[in-house]
Structure formats: structure tokens, C-alpha cells
A = this chain, B = another copy of it.
């Protein structure tokens, strides 16, 4: 959910209100979040309408990820010299996974198949982020490592790798199923720049296609014959639903509550990538300790990405406040920058509790935000989580295998690319 949103953003409209951006450092918040960050009940307070289908296609970010290599300061990693592009490391295997995904959603009913294939057909780069992370994690935690992929087929020389690739496929199916249902929920008429499925084919088919993908994901999970992994990913679906429902039914008080926000964010954004990373480690036959480190990487990477996404919704590609699409706040979704601003300007709480149906309230909130350190605090918090993700990788048991080391460097590299992006 999380990444597709970030990878699929188009500034829907630019806001002409307040543009000032104040920068400062509020490390006490990072300290606060550092203390609480390993407790799902006290996750950093950032979220995003990851299930709402409110953002459209923006192809630039992956390109910027690819293009920005060599420009990253590895602040928390001991591996500063890494020059590897995380995406090219698994490019061939990604194609294999994409092909298998398409073949997995072939149904006996052509129309259902076409519905389920809808996103997989698009070749939207955004969809590649989760599989990239999971394939890199597969190598990073593998005890025995296969030859790096040289082409289709080479990357699936081991049964274990096959099973780990299945996790990447299952994760994408769960993700796309939720997108399909989200489009229905919100009657979204666009998705990644193209008409959403419910717009093109009707709500009914979109819901059915989502159910179909969930059932295929469940069948694929069962075929792994690992009930712990089945439980992990079934729980993810529950988390996605719970998070969305929490957001949907937020009371005016809860909308300003950091704790409520933390929990919702974990459910909505971090659970999928963190638990699938953990599943990868479990299938590798790794210890619970290593599986927990994989989980921590996914959780913190996801949270970091989301926090930056929340900032970009206000700033867009520029560094100026109001240049973003402002789609969150205009949909009444209160994200990290506003929550930080409330801590500085308690009178903003009344505005937030009134809601944002009235554009005047949006302007007012942006004015408070501009006078606060909300944007900067959110960026610092994102960097804190990026660093925690990198630390989780650095804490993995030492391994001299070059492929393992290369994949771990790539995973650390990703954490920094995610927070440095400006679009």
C-alpha cells in the first residue's frame, strides 16, 4: 500500500496559499520516537491514506532513486563505499516475479483474469519496490546463497529462492487486492494515471477481483506449507483493514492523538512490508532474532517512506509549503507535519477537529504548519527511522559472501534514498 502510494503520486493540484517553510531541529522528538519505535503501540505518529486511492501516477521517483545513487550519505551504515543500484541487483528476478504474477492471476473467467491482471499489466514501476526489497532481503538473510541472477531461470535455482519469490508475489497480490477494494471504497476514478478498475469495469468486478487475488494469495501461501508464514500474512490483511477502519472512523479527538495515529500508521503502512520481510527470513530458515531484524528493517523503512510522503504532500517537488497536492489535508487526513505543529500551536487542534471541508481551515492549518517546525520534525523522524532500518541490516550476523554483503548494502542504500527524495 505504502509504496504504491508514494510511487504513484501526481500533484493533483497545486495550492496557492502559504509557502513559507521553517526549518529547525527538534531532536527530543526523535529521542521520544527512538524509545518507542520498537513497540507497535508506540509507533511514530505518521500516516497516510494508503488505502484510499487518492494519489495518481507519478513515474519520477523510481527514476530519481536510480539516478540518485552515489549521492547518498550513509549516515547510519558502516558501509559507506557502496556503489550498487539496489534495483539493478535484482532486475532479472523482478521480471521473473512480474511474469509469474501475471500467470498466477489467470482465471477461468477471462473478465476476472483481466480484472485481476489490471495492475500487473501496467508495468508501473512503483509496484516493483516491495519485490525489490524482498528479493534483496532474501539474499541478505540467506544462509546459502545462489548465484546472482543472470537471466530468467537462473534466479530460481534453489527451492528456497522459489519460496522467497513467492512471498514477493503474494505480497504484491495482497497489495493489489487492497488497491482494488480501495478504489471501490472511495469510488476513485483514477489509479496511477489510468482509469481505476471500478471506473473501467464497475465496482462489482473490482471487489470480486480483489477477493480473487486474496484467494490466490491464500492458495499460494498454503503451498509454501509454512503455517507461521500463513499467519503472518493473514495478519497483514487484518492490519490493513483495521488501519483503514481506524482512519475511517476516527473521532475528532483521535485525529489529534499521536498514539492512535502511531498504531493506525503501523497497520496501514508498515505491517505489509515488515511482516513479508520477516516471512522471507523465516523461509530462509533463519533464527527468530534474524527474522525480527528483517521485520524491523521493513517496519522502519516503511515508516520512513511514509513520513517523507506526508511531507511531500505539503511541499511537492519544491521545498515550499503548499506546493504539494495537499490531497491528505483536503481529504481531512491529518498527517505527521500537522500533528507536530499542533504540539507547538495547541490552537491548531480546534481547526483540525473542525475538519477541512471548509477551505479556510486548510489555509489556516497551512499557516500554523508554516510557522511551526512540523515539516522539519517529520523529516528528522523519517531519517531516524531510515537509520533504524539500516541498523537492523547492520545487526545481521556477519557473512563474508559477496552477494550477501552486496544485498545488505543495497538495503541500507535504499533507506537513505527513500528519505533523500524530493519527489
Q: A residues within 8 Å of B by Cβ?
A: 107-109, 111-112, 178, 181, 184-186, 203-205, 207-208, 210-212, 214-216, 218-219, 221-225, 227-228, 230-231, 234-235, 237-238, 240-242, 244-246, 248-249
Asked if B215 and A223 sit within 8 Å, CB to CB, the answer is: no
Asked if B219 and A235 sit within 8 Å, CB to CB, the answer is: yes
Assembled-state Cα–Cα distance A184/B216 (Å): 22
- Of all A-B residue pairs in the complex, the 7 with the closest CB atoms, nearest first, are A218-B234, A215-B237, A222-B230, A215-B238, A222-B231, A112-B245, A185-B204
Interfacial chain B residues near A222, Cβ < 8 Å: 227-228, 230-231, 234
Assembled-state Cα–Cα distance A241/B186 (Å): 22
Asked if A218 and B230 sit within 8 Å, CB to CB, the answer is: yes
Interfacial chain B residues near A204, Cβ < 8 Å: 185-186, 248
Asked if A218 and B246 sit within 8 Å, CB to CB, the answer is: no
Assembled-state Cα–Cα distance A230/B228 (Å): 13
Q: Which of B107, B211, B230, B245 contacts A230 (CB 8 A)?
A: B230
Q: Which of B108, B111, B223, B237 contacts A227 (CB 8 A)?
A: B223
Interfacial chain B residues near A246, Cβ < 8 Å: 109
Asked if A231 and B237 sit within 8 Å, CB to CB, the answer is: no
Assembled-state Cα–Cα distance A367/B214 (Å): 44
Assembled-state Cα–Cα distance A214/B238 (Å): 8
Closest to A264 in B: B109
Asked if B211 and A184 sit within 8 Å, CB to CB, the answer is: no
Closest to A214 in B: B214
Asked if B212 and A221 sit within 8 Å, CB to CB, the answer is: no
Closest to A236 in B: B215
Asked if A108 and B234 sit within 8 Å, CB to CB, the answer is: no
A185-B203, A185-B204, A185-B207 known; A218-B237 Cβ under 8 A:
yes
Q: Which of B111, B112, B184, B215 contacts A203 (CB 8 A)?
A: B184
Interfacial chain B residues near A185, Cβ < 8 Å: 203-204, 207-208
Give me 10 other A-B pairs in contact (C-beta within 8 A), A185-B204, A211-B237, A218-B234 excluded.
Answer: A185-B203, A208-B245, A211-B240, A211-B241, A212-B238, A219-B235, A221-B234, A222-B227, A222-B231, A230-B230
